[in-house]
A and B are shown apart, each in its own frame.
Chain A
Amino acid sequence: MSITTSQKNATAWLNPAEMARLSSLELRARDVVEGYLQGLHRSPFVGYSVEFSSHRRYGAGDDLRHVNWKLFARQRKLYVKEYDAETNMNLYLFVDSSRSMQCQVDGLMTKYEYSSVLAAAMASLALKQRDGVALGRMDDGITNYLDPSAKPGRWEECVRMLSVDAQVRTTKLGRSLEQAASLARHKGVVAIFSDLVDDLTEVANGLQQLRHRGHEVLLFHILDPCERRFPKSGRFRIVDMEEDRSVTTDAESVRREYQTRVDQWCSDLRDICLHQGVDRVEVTTDETPAETLVNFLVKKNCL
């Protein structure tokens, strides 16, 4: 973190607006998690190994498949079996904090805030299962990184990191993903939250590197509704958030062509992800984060 950010962090705790934003993120994330947990009560993450390690007390949300019923019968207390894989599963969260992620036109919040909520919610879910959570921010590279940990207070650290203002740098996603691959040394789940505004080849290379290391990669493609579906009518002065340029246009004259190109882009990304074995979730910020996460996790559990 830069000095400016740390100073900001120092004052962030005292700044009512920042406090409000922090608590807002926290609250939102909790809402997402609790909503999910109330709905399903099942751990979203399943370990890879079945080697028994030890017992631990049953906690809300634990998979009932791992409850030791014999022990319950003897001691009338619920204990779940821990497996080696479970205790070693790390969740790596990488959030794109470049300039383009500050876009908010028709969405509920900026893409960065949306990503932050999702990342915080997932971190909360993982930490509840005592999975290790790592968090990194990226723009032209990994700017902030927290190593995987399941210690108490990790979640607050994550929230604090996510609440820091972005450096408004441009996106270099390929490089960021490469760095992420090098940082995520142990196998786990890598969740990437980005608008993927970069060269698709570099993105594909980055994803490939992550997959090469054996990670399960989840790609949350976050877009503003205006970016995904250009407005139907009106005159607009479109400003590029990453590059200092703008253009004035009427929606009717460009919408169809624009839509075609965006669809093609998304389709190419889908193909890349499919080829790489990456789970891609296309999200627009007009959907609530809870809805997005629930839909994703339900879908994941169903597969």
Chain B
Amino acid sequence: MTFVQTSFLIATAAVAIPIVVHLLSRRQVRRVELGTMRFLQDVIQDGSQKRRLRRWLLLAIRSLVMLLLALLFARPYLVDQLSGRSGSRSRIILIDRSASMSMEGPNGRLVDDAVVAATDAAEEAGGAASISYAWFDRHVQPLPEGTQLPTAPRTVTASTNYGAAVRWANTAIDARPNNVVDVVMITDMQQNGLQSRITELAASTFPADVPVKIVDVGREAVNNLAISQLSSRTSRVAFGNRVQLDMTLINYGSLPYEAVTAKAVAFDGSRSVRLSKSVKIAAGEAQELVFDLGKLNPGTWRITASIDVNDDLVTDNQRLTAVEVSAPTRVIVFDDNQQDSVAKTNSYYVATALAQDGSNVRGAAVAAKDSEEPVTEEGRFDPEIVYLNSDSIPSLSPAEVPLTVVCDASIVDSSLLPRLQEYVKQGGRLLVFAGDVSDSLLAEWQQSGLVPGIMDSPIRSGAMPFRIISLDPSSQMMKPFDDPQHADLSRLAFRQLMPVKPAADTRVVAWFDEGRPAITEQVVGQGQIVWFLSGVDSKWSNWTASPLYLPVVQQMAAELLNLNGEGRIRHRDVGDEDHQFLTSSPVNKNWTPVSSSGTTANVPEQSKDQQPADQQLSMTPVYTSPRFEQFGQSLYVINTAAQESDPTRIDAEALQKHFGINVSEAAESSETKTISVQKKIEYWPWLAAALFVLVFAEFCLSNRTTA
């Protein structure tokens, strides 16, 4: 048994007090001579044995009381090291492979030192112990069972997440309920490992009965100049505008850097633009640089920024970004030119709406709410109206015409429908508004596969018009309208709509009342189709006169061209999971699928349907290295997490406190710090209860005799 306040044990000497008092009181006797003792003798004889017993009992109680008092203040406790566990020995070794582990160490890199330490930890456990290794950075990758020696990865680029490591370790410990388990975590003690945005503190604590050893392989003094941020003002720059980049450099070290060359290289696949600057930065300071790339040609420009410096962490000396320089997207708007004047055609409203600058659709919605004047700036779209009756139908190539709009589904004839079908399958985007479709045409639409489900002829509303009453909150298309205070689509009134029973692969993003789909989107081949299941014709609704018309049309078109949300250029960090891909998308061989527990595993290139059911892998990709990754129309720019550049370390006590580890009094070596887990079982409540009982008993037995 050990004690919290060992010094109070001196007070146990007070046990002698009642004994001394007892002995002294026996000596301090007053001699009294009485005429007769016969009355006293009778009394004494009657209860002598009982009094003797009571006397010894009182002495024992008083001695116990003194002892308990001393123990109460000393606070004894038992240390329960591995309570409830027996059986074979297991050791779980977690090895940090975050980007900071690429710093130079005694054996090469810190991650190489970690591998050496892991080997030592395995040997220390003994041959009988089963060893489980796992790499951890943002996620945890366990090594196959039976791995003898882990091999250090060639590149380490992800950020640190201690929480993920601890959670995985807890899972592994729970999987071994009958084993004597301990954990060894080998890391460079980087503070940002506690600040991960996905750290769940409540679940990130080690069990109290599992010893944890933390091996610190980090470096105390680090010199690191890092590019912490690289971005353009906007991810999409209109053709003709200058492209400017903002770069932030931070010197994390204790030494200044003089005449450091910072470069920015922009490449669109055929041409490149290079800029460089010389910068001086003092220790502990940050500096902003601006690179003006000038007016770039239309296209997606991949930009790589780097600094030419010899510091301790190389992975943050380069950073990626991308900019899209684009002219307005060509959009063909099909109409039938039934009206007398162009201004009265359905396509006019659509084309006019598309021609506006919808880059701030929410602002446009607010402005539209507050005033009737649309926001006019250079638009993202270049709409071209094609009248089916008079104009020749241009070649529908997704490369030339990324987006096609059909203002009225009834104007599409049997010759156009197949072309639209082919156009979409090749990757074209189609926006269709409902119309008075005849039964035969409806059947053709149904056969074309371009409809969102089983469609029916248009229906008219009764006295109450149809209104859009609910939206899909996860849809980027409908995001500007999620707050009715800003844009309330239920204000739009429709006299007709086209009912449809959505197919399984059709996504409904807005509903009329009674659950009727209002806006749907679906993937067909390599393209996408969005249906608006009411019309722009005045017979259907006069919503074209509403301020909400423009933002709705802009959002639908932008969704098709991947301009909503993040847009075409999406920024990710190494280790991020991406949930935005449709499940039917093809697997990218550069992705690493992530299991449901958060661990990564090497899975051969195969679709989700071909995966064995017991592997339970999702197709959520995890980015493993900094690079550009094209997927469909989106370009993913993957960088190392900026916080990984910060070499600030945490001390062992902070880590222990964070994960609920108690410090042991074991000796510490210069290279490792051993922290064992102890579960203290304090006994002072029981001592206090026993003391109370004894004091009460002493009070009751306070009459005593020594005869």
Residues of A within 8 A of B (CB): 99-103, 105, 111, 195, 197, 223-224, 226-227, 230-231, 234-243, 245-250, 252-254, 257-258, 261-262, 265
CB distance from A227 to the nearest CB of B (A): 5
B514 within 8 A of A: no
The contact string, 1 if C-beta is below 8 Å from chain A, for chain B 27-47, is 011111111110111111011
The contact string, 1 if C-beta is below 8 Å from chain A, for chain B 20-64, is 000001101111111111011111101100010000000000000
Contact of A197 among B35, B44, B704 (CB under 8 A): B35
Contact of A224 among B30, B34, B705 (CB under 8 A): B34
What are 27 A-B contacts defined by CB distance under 8 Å? A100-B36, A111-B35, A195-B36, A197-B36, A227-B36, A235-B25, A235-B29, A236-B30, A237-B29, A237-B31, A237-B32, A238-B32, A239-B32, A240-B33, A240-B37, A241-B33, A241-B34, A242-B36, A247-B41, A248-B707, A249-B707, A250-B704, A250-B705, A253-B704, A254-B43, A258-B40, A261-B39
Q: Tell me which residues across on chain B come within 8 A of A258, comparing CB atoms.
A: 39-40, 43
Contact of A235 among B28, B33, B43, B44 (CB under 8 A): B28
B341 within 8 A of A: no
CB distance from B648 to the nearest CB of A (A): 73
Q: How far is the CA of A102 from the CA of B36 in the complex (A)?
A: 11
Q: How far is the CA of A137 from the CA of B588 in the complex (A)?
A: 133
Q: Are B706 and A235 in contact (CB under 8 A)?
A: yes
Q: Tell me which residues across on chain B come within 8 A of A249, comparing CB atoms.
A: 40, 44, 705-707
Which residues 47-92 in B have Cβ within 8 Å of A in the complex? 47, 51
**Closest 9 pairs (CB-CB, A-B):** A100-B35, A253-B705, A240-B37, A257-B43, A197-B36, A261-B39, A103-B35, A237-B29, A239-B33
Known: A237-B29, A239-B33, A247-B707. A261 touches B44 (CB 8 A): no
Q: Are B33 and A253 in contact (CB under 8 A)?
A: no
Contact of A248 among B29, B34, B42 (CB under 8 A): B29
Q: Are B43 and A105 in contact (CB under 8 A)?
A: no
CB distance from B30 to the nearest CB of A (A): 5
Q: Tell me which residues across on chain A come within 8 A of B41, comparing CB atoms.
A: 247
Of all chain B residues, which has the CB nearest A198? B36
Q: How far is the CA of A111 from the CA of B36 in the complex (A)?
A: 13
Question: Which of B34, B46, B51 gathers most chain A CB within 10 Å?
Answer: B34
Known: A247-B41, A249-B705, A250-B706. A195 touches B31 (CB 8 A): no
B703 within 8 A of A: yes
Other A-B contacts than A241-B34, A248-B706, 10 sampled, CB-CB below 8 A, are: A103-B33, A224-B34, A231-B32, A235-B26, A235-B29, A238-B34, A249-B706, A253-B705, A254-B43, A257-B46
Q: Are A239 and B39 in contact (CB under 8 A)?
A: no
Q: How far is the CA of A101 from the CA of B43 in the complex (A)?
A: 23
Q: How far is the CA of A103 from the CA of B34 in the complex (A)?
A: 6
Q: How far is the CA of A78 from the CA of B42 in the complex (A)?
A: 61
Q: B interface, how many residues as a size bin?
A: 20 to 34
Q: Tell me which residues across on chain B come within 8 A of A261, comparing CB atoms.
A: 39, 42-43
Q: How far is the CA of A257 from the CA of B703 in the complex (A)?
A: 13
CB distance from B42 to the nearest CB of A (A): 6
Q: Tell me which residues across on chain B come within 8 A of A105, comparing CB atoms.
A: 32-34
Q: Tell me which residues across on chain B come within 8 A of A224, comparing CB atoms.
A: 34-35
Of all chain A residues, which has the CB nearest B46? A257
Of all chain A residues, which has the CB nearest B702? A252
Known: A247-B44, A261-B39. A237 touches B30 (CB 8 A): yes
Q: How far is the CA of A111 from the CA of B34 in the complex (A)?
A: 11
Residues of B within 8 A of A (CB): 25-26, 28-37, 39-44, 46-47, 51, 703-707
Q: Are A253 and B29 in contact (CB under 8 A)?
A: no
CB distance from A240 to the nearest CB of B (A): 4
Q: Are A234 and B30 in contact (CB under 8 A)?
A: yes
Of all chain B residues, which has the CB nearest A246? B37
Q: Are A238 and B37 in contact (CB under 8 A)?
A: yes
Q: Are A245 and B37 in contact (CB under 8 A)?
A: yes
CB distance from A262 to the nearest CB of B (A): 6
CB distance from B58 to the nearest CB of A (A): 11
Q: Are B35 and A101 in contact (CB under 8 A)?
A: yes
Q: Are B32 and A243 in contact (CB under 8 A)?
A: no
CB distance from A44 to the nearest CB of B (A): 28
Q: Are B705 and A254 in contact (CB under 8 A)?
A: yes
Q: How far is the CA of A59 from the CA of B453 in the complex (A)?
A: 152
Q: Are A254 and B40 in contact (CB under 8 A)?
A: yes
Q: Tell me which residues across on chain B come within 8 A of A226, comparing CB atoms.
A: 32, 34
CB distance from B394 to the nearest CB of A (A): 121
Q: Are A239 and B28 in contact (CB under 8 A)?
A: no
Q: Tell me which residues across on chain A come within 8 A of B37, comparing CB atoms.
A: 238-240, 243, 245-247
Q: Tell me which residues across on chain A come within 8 A of B31, comparing CB atoms.
A: 236-237, 239
Q: Are B34 and A239 in contact (CB under 8 A)?
A: yes
Q: How far is the CA of A250 from the CA of B35 in the complex (A)?
A: 18
Q: Tell me which residues across on chain A come within 8 A of B34, comparing CB atoms.
A: 100, 103, 105, 224, 226-227, 238-241
Q: Are A252 and B706 in contact (CB under 8 A)?
A: no
Q: How far is the CA of A243 from the CA of B33 in the complex (A)?
A: 11
Q: How far is the CA of A242 from the CA of B35 in the complex (A)?
A: 7
CB distance from B22 to the nearest CB of A (A): 11
Q: How far is the CA of A227 from the CA of B30 in the complex (A)?
A: 15
Q: Tell me which residues across on chain A come within 8 A of B703, comparing CB atoms.
A: 252-253
Q: Tell me which residues across on chain B come within 8 A of A250, comparing CB atoms.
A: 704-706
Q: Are B40 and A238 in contact (CB under 8 A)?
A: yes
Of all chain B residues, which has the CB nearest A104? B33
Q: How far is the CA of A253 from the CA of B43 in the complex (A)?
A: 9
CB distance from A194 to the nearest CB of B (A): 10
Q: Tell me which residues across on chain A come within 8 A of B35, comparing CB atoms.
A: 99-101, 103, 111, 195, 197, 223-224, 227, 241-242
Q: Tell me which residues across on chain B come within 8 A of A242, comparing CB atoms.
A: 35-36
CB distance from B245 to the nearest CB of A (A): 98
Q: Tell me which residues across on chain B come within 8 A of A101, comparing CB atoms.
A: 35
Q: How far is the CA of A243 from the CA of B34 in the complex (A)?
A: 10
Question: Which of A230, A254, A257, A265 gathers most chain B CB within 10 Å?
Answer: A254
CB distance from B691 to the nearest CB of A (A): 25
Q: How far is the CA of A179 from the CA of B34 in the complex (A)?
A: 26
Known: A249-B40, A265-B39. A235 touches B707 (CB 8 A): no
Of all chain B residues, which has the CB nearest A195? B35
Q: How far is the CA of A103 from the CA of B40 in the complex (A)?
A: 16
Q: How far is the CA of A85 from the CA of B707 in the complex (A)?
A: 57
CB distance from B357 to the nearest CB of A (A): 104
Q: Tell me which residues across on chain A come within 8 A of B43, comparing CB atoms.
A: 254, 257-258, 261
Of all chain B residues, which has the CB nearest A194? B35
Q: How far is the CA of A111 from the CA of B33 in the complex (A)?
A: 12
CB distance from B304 to the nearest CB of A (A): 98
Q: Are B39 and A247 in contact (CB under 8 A)?
A: no
Question: Which of A100, A235, A242 gathers most chain B CB within 10 Å?
Answer: A235
Q: How far is the CA of A120 from the CA of B26 in the complex (A)?
A: 43
CB distance from A99 to the nearest CB of B (A): 8
CB distance from B169 to the nearest CB of A (A): 66
Q: Are B44 and A254 in contact (CB under 8 A)?
A: yes
Q: Are B32 and A253 in contact (CB under 8 A)?
A: no
Q: How far is the CA of A10 from the CA of B460 in the complex (A)?
A: 155
Q: Are A253 and B51 in contact (CB under 8 A)?
A: yes
Q: How far is the CA of A102 from the CA of B33 in the complex (A)?
A: 9
Q: How far is the CA of A238 from the CA of B33 in the complex (A)?
A: 6
Q: How far is the CA of A236 from the CA of B25 in the complex (A)?
A: 10
Q: Are B36 and A236 in contact (CB under 8 A)?
A: no
Of all chain B residues, which has the CB nearest A102? B33
Q: Tell me which residues across on chain A come within 8 A of B706, comparing CB atoms.
A: 235, 248-250
CB distance from B455 to the nearest CB of A (A): 106
CB distance from B289 to the nearest CB of A (A): 95
Q: How far is the CA of A241 from the CA of B26 in the complex (A)?
A: 22
CB distance from B38 to the nearest CB of A (A): 8
Q: Are A247 and B40 in contact (CB under 8 A)?
A: yes
Q: How far is the CA of A247 from the CA of B43 in the complex (A)?
A: 11
Q: Tell me which residues across on chain B come within 8 A of A265, comparing CB atoms.
A: 39
Q: Tell me which residues across on chain B come within 8 A of A235, comparing CB atoms.
A: 25-26, 28-30, 706
Q: Tell me which residues across on chain B come within 8 A of A230, comparing CB atoms.
A: 40
Question: Which of A105, A249, A253, A258 gathers most chain B CB within 10 Å?
Answer: A253
CB distance from A102 to the nearest CB of B (A): 8
